[in-house]
Amino acid sequence: MHELMPLLLFVAVGGVLLLGYPVALSLGGTALVFAFIGEWLGMFDHAFIEALPNRMYGIMTNETLIAVPLFVFMGVMLERSRVAENLLETMALLFGPMRGGLGISVTVVGMLLAASTGIVGATVVTMGLLSLPTMLRRNYAPSIAAGTICASGTLGQIIPPSIVLVLLGDVLSGAYQQAQLDMGIFSPDTVSVGDLFVGALIPGLILVAAYIAYMVGVAVLRPEAVPAIPADERPRHDAHFWLRVLVVLLPPLGLIVAVLGSILYGIATPTEAASVGAIGALLLAAMQGQLNVPTLRAVVRQTTIVTSMVFFIFIGAAVFSLVFRGFDGDELVTEFLTGLPGGTVGAVALVMLVMFLLGFILDFIEITFVVVPIVGPVLLAMGLDPVWLGVMIAINLQTSFLTPPFGFSLFYLRGVAPPEVTTMQIYRGVLPFIVLQLLMLGALALFPQLATWLPDKVYP
């Protein structure tokens, strides 16, 4: 019976989630119920629950997590300051003369928004509201338009500075230290959020290039599906036009360079760089004439809501993790993964499959806080590079969020898409991008250097 308790705990949490209860309460509440039952049956040591205050204090004093509200503030402020709208309009005029130009514009702007905001839902909804009507009006195939928007929006998972990478980096850091302690290494190496930012840069840019290459391929093979903007509607590419391009493009690019550059060159930690991003977003909003008291009040309110949700889930996941360990669930997972056929490859493949499926019903925050602390130490004790594993997890979840019928980005776009765009068209549109994601995941599995080479050069 004792060995079944961790499995029953997982099943119970899944059942409570399906009933529609909030994730944080489902995790923490179900775990506490199991802890009481386990103690009553003599299977659970209440010392694990007594460790909860120390765990809470650790969350409260974790300086890395200060980056979360700062990056959220940065993203929400940029969302409300018309930066995306101006970027999309200008990029569309820049690439408009070529077939597929609008699709390429959406991809480029999606990349810039991802690097500026790191919030998938906000990016997909913003791009859906701004670009989908324009693409449909220009006679783009609805499936291609929808697929491009969904895929570009999910770049917020992998393009730094991503909130996903901030949370994942913090959790992986603890898992990596735990793995080394389990191996008898009492002066463990560390992995930082900055390492993960740098490691995700090359795979993220390769994905952007792959998306653009796909759009070019569609323009060649199916030109009628991605028409160019008519000649009489294009502006002259004169000095005035190029000045407009620079004015619109340089501020967000400067913000990205300031945030990432300060991390890459060791000038600032990710938390300090997040504060640079927040101040930069305020300056951009002021430049757009959008910085006023109502906007600031709305941004602060939204930032508080998102941050509270993240930390509430963090606390619920901490309770779940302690109870799971109290039932020796970590030992059960270790025995199971190490006993799989195929060794490390089999263990990684199974964990990636489970995370992929969990991505249909859980957001990245829950998966990061619940699953990674359980499987991370086991996988890292097998000798895997923590940066490589973190980037693999991020791309895997990015793919999961795109995959029909439950992908989160599909729901985000469905909520803002006009009725004439059917759900099946959205599903068909994302399929080529899912293939590109899987190819990237396979390339990363075969060539880990895609994620590890740049961190080794930046942080020798």
d(CA 135, CA 310) in angstroms, rounded, equals: 34
Instruction: Check whether the bond before 203 is cis (ω within 30° of 0).
Output: no
Q: Which residues form the domain of 226? A: 46-458
Contacts of residue 353, defined as CB under 8 A and 6 or more positions apart, other chains included, come to none
Tell me whether residue 298 is in a domain: yes
d(CA 163, CA 186) in angstroms, rounded, equals: 30
CB 193 within 8 A of CB 161: no
Amino acid at 160: P
Amino acid at 218: V
Q: Among 271, 293, 363, which residue's Cα sits nearest to residue 69?
A: 271
Return the exposure string of 178-188: e unless at least 16 CB atoms fall within 10 Å of the residue's CB, then b: bbbeeeeeeee
Q: Among 368, 406, 411, which residue's Cα sits nearest to residue 390?
A: 368
Three-state SS string over the chain comes to CHHHHHHHHHHHHHHHHHCCCCHHHHHHHHHHHHHHHHHHCCCCCCHHHHCHHHHHHHHHCCHHHHHHHHHHHHHHHHHHCCHHHHHHHHHHHHHCCCCCHHHHHHHHHHHHHHHHHCCHHHHHHHHHHHHHHHHHHCCCCHHHHHHHHHHHHHHHHCCCCCHHHHHHHHHHHHHHHHHHHHCCCCCCCCCCHHHHHHHHHHHHHHHHHHHHHHHHHHHHHCHHHCCCCCHHHCCCCCHHHHHHHHHHHHHHHHHHHHHHHHHHCCCCCHHHHHHHHHHHHHHHHHHCCCCCHHHHHHHHHHHHHHHHHHHHHHHHHHHHHHHHHHCCHHHHHHHHHHCCCCHHHHHHHHHHHHHHHHCCCCCHHHHHHHCHHHHHHHHHHCCCCHHHHHHHHHHHHHHHCCCCCCCHHHHHHHHHCCCCCCHHHHHHHHHHHHHHHHHHHHHHHHCCHHHHHHHHHHCC
pLDDT at res. 180 = 79
Total tally of structural domains belonging to the chain: 1
Tell me whether residue 275 is in a domain: yes
CB 426 within 8 A of CB 417: yes
Tell me whether residue 19 is in a domain: no
Tell me whether residue 119 is in a domain: yes
Tell me whether residue 13 is in a domain: no
Tell me whether residue 93 is in a domain: yes
**Each residue's pLDDT expressed in tens, for the chain with a length of 460 residues:** 667 788 888 788 878 877 877 778 888 888 888 888 888 888 877 777 788 888 788 778 877 778 888 888 887 887 777 777 777 777 777 777 788 888 888 888 888 776 665 566 667 777 787 788 888 888 889 999 899 988 888 887 788 877 788 888 888 888 888 777 777 776 667 777 888 888 999 999 999 999 999 999 999 998 888 888 776 666 676 777 788 778 888 888 888 788 878 877 778 887 888 888 889 888 888 887 878 888 889 889 988 887 888 788 878 888 888 888 888 777 777 777 777 787 788 888 888 888 888 777 677 777 888 788 888 888 888 888 899 999 999 898 888 888 887 777 887 788 778 888 888 888 899 999 999 999 999 999 999 999 999 888 877 6
Tell me whether residue 335 is in a domain: yes
pLDDT at res. 62 = 77
Residue 279 token pair = 């101040």
- For the entire predicted model, the pTM comes to 0.83
Tell me whether residue 281 is in a domain: yes
Q: How far is CA 160 from the centre of its chain?
A: 9
Instruction: Check whether the bond before 161 is cis (ω within 30° of 0).
Output: yes
pLDDT at res. 408 = 74
Classify burial at 296, counting beta carbons within 10 Å of its beta carbon; exposed 0-12, middle 13-18, buried 19 or more.
middle
